[in-house]
């Protein structure tokens, strides 16, 4: 086995041994017990979203999170529709790419990476352009760690009578999202983020009426959301080969989320990790890129300290050799790196990481002195 390290990255993330052990058994895709697992997962996801089975339904889709986003955008925004993409990071910009590839009509409202999309500006855009039928936004922008206000945006989208699509990839399961109350029609997330499963599929929570209204709009066979749902809704069968080991691991991860105390308890743990991380890093001279009012508990972008010159690869290798993997920055205009605080990680991991970074900085100072 290669040397193990914990992941301080926002997915894939560190999973429990019990979740990993679920993958040691092979399952048959058309077996009734296996299909029942899929159905149980779908029901449980609706509970976590605080929605009823009458109003909402869950679809599981093979592939990583991007496949889920592309499935929704390419299946529900028709050729006569128009999507408004509200972005403040790379994942919002990926929605633009998806629209380009699929020839989906769209408009783009781009905010600065350290600002949240403004609900009032979105209300103005919707008032000025009646041809916009759908609005899409990322909740937790993993590019920077900023948490967008989907509640405020959902309210203006609903008031304007449009359909609201949310990429809650890195927040669902770690941050409470009352999906119906916040006016979300489609919410996308994936197995390997805050539910703490392994990579292999995404899931989409859909308002049933909005999903059914997408009839005839899909541009792809394998990513056809309505078709995937029809098969699953019948008896829990995935249309094409399902990631069986990943599904079992995810089912276990959902049980462990409930044992921890559900989303409120998981949110408290992530938030405590994040608070401690920011405090320790500040003591070491690292400032956060995002201000405290919009910082998510999921991932944090840190700026290189003034006067200390170091290369990320060297920093990364030093930390990895001591048991943790961190993330490079995703900003072009500033030297930054990112540290995730989700997954099977606790405050003691944060203390250990801070001690490793302290040693790194001390050794660097020793070298240059
Ligand atoms: C992880 C993530 C995705 C999906 O990325 P994949 O690499 O396809 O899993 C999409 N949006 C956000 C905000 C994410 O954090």
Q: What is the mean pLDDT of residues 302-324?
A: 90
**Per mean pLDDT, which range of 57-66, 257-266, 304-313 is the poorest?**
304-313
282: left (phi over 0), alpha (psi -120 to 50) or beta: alpha
Question: Nearest Cα to 121, choosing from 88, 168, 76?
Answer: 88
Angle between helices 225-235 and 65-76 (to 10 degrees): 110
Domain with CATH 3.40.640.10 in the chain: 18-259
Average pLDDT, the chain: 96
**Per mean pLDDT, which range of 23-37, 235-249, 301-315, 350-364 is the poorest?**
301-315
Quote the tokens at residue 172. 């669902």
Domain with CATH 3.90.1150.10 in the chain: 6-10+262-368
Question: Mapped to the 3 state alphabet, what secondary structure does the chain carry?
Answer: CCCCCEECCCCCCCCCHHHHHHHHCCCCCCCHHHHHHHHHHHHHHHHHCCCCCCCEEEEEEECCHHHHHHHHHHHHCCCCCCEEEEECCHHHHHHHHHHHHHCCCEEEEECCCCCCCCHHHHHHHHHHCCCCCEEEEECEECCCCEECCHHHHHHHHHHCCCEEEEECCCCECCECCCCCCCCCCEEEEECCCCCCCCCCEEEEEEEHHHHHCCCCCCCCCCCCHHHHHHHHHHHCCCCCCCCHHHHHHHHHHHHHHHHHCHHHHHHHHHHHHHHHHHHHHHHCCCCECCCCCCECCCEEEEECCCCCCCCHHHHHHHHHHCCEECEECCCCCCCEEEEECCCCCCHHHHHHHHHHHHHHHHHHHHHHC
pLDDT on residue 309: 74
The rounded Å distance from CA 10 to ligand 1 centre is 9
**C-alpha–C-alpha distance, residues 76 and 89, integer Å:** 23
Instruction: Please say whether the dihedral angle defined by the alpha carbons of residues 86, 332, 174 and 224, taken in this order, is positive or negative.
Output: positive
**C-alpha–C-alpha distance, residues 140 and 150, integer Å:** 9
Confidence check: pLDDT of 1 > 70: no
Q: Report the half-sphere exposure of 73 (CA within 13 A, side-chain side).
A: 29
**C-alpha–C-alpha distance, residues 74 and 71, integer Å:** 5
At 3, the pLDDT band (50, 70, 90 cuts) reads low
Burial of 97 (0-12, 13-18, 19+ CB in 10 A): exposed
Query: Which atom of ligand 1 is found nearest the CA of 140?
Result: 13
Q: What is the mean pLDDT of residues 219-229?
A: 98
**C-alpha–C-alpha distance, residues 75 and 102, integer Å:** 10
Quote the tokens at residue 182. 């916040």
The rounded Å distance from CA 127 to ligand 1 centre is 30
The answer to whether the CB of 27 falls within 8 A of the CB of 244 is yes
The rounded Å distance from CA 33 to ligand 1 centre is 30
Confidence check: pLDDT of 367 > 90: no
Mutational test site, ligand 1, from 91, 94, 139, 175, max ligand atoms within 8 Å of CB: 91
Tell the residue nearest (CA) to atom 3 of ligand 1: 65
63: left (phi over 0), alpha (psi -120 to 50) or beta: left
Q: Which residues are annotated as a binding site for substrate?
A: 338
The rounded Å distance from CA 170 to ligand 1 centre is 7
Q: What is the mean pLDDT of residues 240-258?
A: 98
CA angle 166, 171, 176 (to 5 degrees): 90
Strand-strand pairing, 140-141 and 83-87: unpaired
Mutational test site, ligand 1, from 167, 191, 341, max ligand atoms within 8 Å of CB: 167
Question: Cis link prior to 329 (omega < 30° from 0)?
Answer: no
Tell the residue nearest (CA) to atom 9 of ligand 1: 65
Confidence check: pLDDT of 83 > 70: yes
Confidence check: pLDDT of 134 > 60: yes
Tell me the pLDDT tens digit for each residue of 7-31. 999 889 999 999 999 999 999 999 9
Confidence check: pLDDT of 313 > 70: yes
The rounded Å distance from CA 197 to ligand 1 centre is 14
Tell me the pLDDT tens digit for each residue of 179-197. 999 999 999 999 999 999 9
The answer to whether the CB of 22 falls within 8 A of the CB of 247 is no
Q: What residue ranges line ligand 1, CB within 6 angstroms?
A: 10-11, 64-66, 91, 138, 142, 167, 169-170, 190
Query: Which atom of ligand 1 is found nearest the CA of 67?
Result: 8
Q: What is the mean pLDDT of residues 57-78?
A: 98
Tell the residue nearest (CA) to atom 12 of ligand 1: 169
Q: Which residues are annotated as a binding site?
A: 338
Instruction: Please say whether the dihedral angle defined by the alpha carbons of residues 200, 139, 177 and 186, taken in this order, is positive or negative.
Output: negative
How many percent of the chain have pLDDT more than 90? Answer: 92
pLDDT on residue 310: 77
Which architecture, in CATH terms, is 6-10+262-368?
Alpha-Beta Complex (3.90)
Domain 18-259 sits in CATH at 3.40.640.10
The answer to whether the CB of 166 falls within 8 A of the CB of 148 is no
Quote the tokens at residue 122. 């979105």
Question: Nearest Cα to 353, choosing from 367, 339, 337, 336?
Answer: 339
The rounded Å distance from CA 110 to ligand 1 centre is 18
The rounded Å distance from CA 40 to ligand 1 centre is 24
pLDDT on residue 11: 83
């Amino acid at each position: 086995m290669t040397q193990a390290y914990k992941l301080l990255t926002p997915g894939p993330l560190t999973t429990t041994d019990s979740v990993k052990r679920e993958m040691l058994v092979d399952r048959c895709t058309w077996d009734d017990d296996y299909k029942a697992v899929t159905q149980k997962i779908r029901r449980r996801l609706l509970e976590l979203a605080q929605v009823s089975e009458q109003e909402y339904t869950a679809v599981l889709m093979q592939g990583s999170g991007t496949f889920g986003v592309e499935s929704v955008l390419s299946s529900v925004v028709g050729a006569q529709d128009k999507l408004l993409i509200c972005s403040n990071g790379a994942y919002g910009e990926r929605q633009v790419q998806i629209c380009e590839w699929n020839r989906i009509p769209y408009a783009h409202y781009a905010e600065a990476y350290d600002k949240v999309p403004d609900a009032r500006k979105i209300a103005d855009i919707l008032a000025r352009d009646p041809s916009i039928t759908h609005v899409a936004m990322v909740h937790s922008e993993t590019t920077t760690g900023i948490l967008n206000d989907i509640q405020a945006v959902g309210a203006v989208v609903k008031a304007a009578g449009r359909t609201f699509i949310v990429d809650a990839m890195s927040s669902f399961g770690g941050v409470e999202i009352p999906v119906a109350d916040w006016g979300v029609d489609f919410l996308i997330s994936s197995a390997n983020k805050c539910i703490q499963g392994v990579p292999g599929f995404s899931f989409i929570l859909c308002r049933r009426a909005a999903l059914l209204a997408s009839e005839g709009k899909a541009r792809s066979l394998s990513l056809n959301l309505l078709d995937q749902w029809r098969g699953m809704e019948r008896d829990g069968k995935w249309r094409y080969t399902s990631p069986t080991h990943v599904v079992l691991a995810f089912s276990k991860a959902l049980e462990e989320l409930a044992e921890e105390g559900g989303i409120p308890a998981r949110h408290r743990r992530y938030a405590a990790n994040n608070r401690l991380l920011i405090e320790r890093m500040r003591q070491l001279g690292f400032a956060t890129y995002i201000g405290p009012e919009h910082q998510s508990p999921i991932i944090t972008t840190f700026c290189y300290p003034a006067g200390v010159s170091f290369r990320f690869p060297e920093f990364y290798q030093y930390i990895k050799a001591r048991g943790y993997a961190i993330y490079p920055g995703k900003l072009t205009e500033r030297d930054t790196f990112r540290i995730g605080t989700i997954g099977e990680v606790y405050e003691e991991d944060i203390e250990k990481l801070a001690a490793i970074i302290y040693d790194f900085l001390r050794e660097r100072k020793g070298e240059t002195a």
